[in-house]
Amino acid sequence: MIYCVIPEALEDELLDKLTTYYADDDNVTVIVDRRRAERRAADDDPELSEQRQIRDRRRPRVPGDFPPLEPK
């Protein structure tokens, strides 16, 4: 599913045009972004902020080297 998200300020200008443009494509849904604020609240509790850890989610590289390739 692909969402074509339109800012609320451009709804009058773009909603009808994009809905018509993507009418034949079942994989695309045109929606209007009506959010007013961030959903994530700022951490007001300093104790919780200290416990939070930001980590690198990538897998660590496997140690060692690749064996040399033999020419054909």
**Whether the Cβ atoms of residue 29 and residue 2 lie closer than 8 Å to each other:** yes
Checking 36-41 for CB contacts under 8 A at 24+ apart, the result is none
- Residue 13 pLDDT greater than 90, yes or no: yes
Provide the percentage of residues in the chain whose pLDDT is more than 70. 79
3-state secondary structure of 3: strand
Amino acid 31: pLDDT: 97
Q: Model-level pTM greater than 0.85?
A: no
In the chain, what are the domain boundaries?
A: 1-34
